[in-house]
Amino acid sequence: MIRSPCNKVCQLDFGTGWCLGCGRTGQEIQNWLKFTDAERDKVIEECPDRLQTMGLPPEGDVEEAERRAAAQRLGPRNR
């Protein structure tokens, strides 16, 4: 089984380009299965800092990530 930080939120933050659920970039998500274990470990290590940069807890917060994802989909008028 391949390690992954995915928590099934899967919505990129418009400001940072990082996934609101796990903190990976779209490219990292797309190429995850092609990465070596070392490459995946490096990304997994960076994800908590990325989540914190977006104002989320480093271990992730699925409910908040889903709320932000829904707000992005609705646009600025509906936030």
What pLDDT, in 10s, does the model give residues 44-64?
A: 999 999 999 999 999 889 999
- In DSSP terms, 19 is beta-bridged to 12
What pLDDT shows up at residue 67? 92
The count of domains in the chain is 1
Q: Which of 57, 34, 59, 56 is CA-nearest to residue 44? A: 59
The token pair that represents 5 in the structure block: 């930080």
Distance from C-alpha of 31 to C-alpha of 16, rounded to nearest angstrom:
19
Helix, strand or coil, per DSSP, at residue 23: coil
Distance from C-alpha of 66 to C-alpha of 13, rounded to nearest angstrom:
11
Q: For the chain, which residues score pLDDT lower than 50? A: 79
Distance from C-alpha of 60 to C-alpha of 15, rounded to nearest angstrom:
18
Residues of the domain holding 69: 1-79
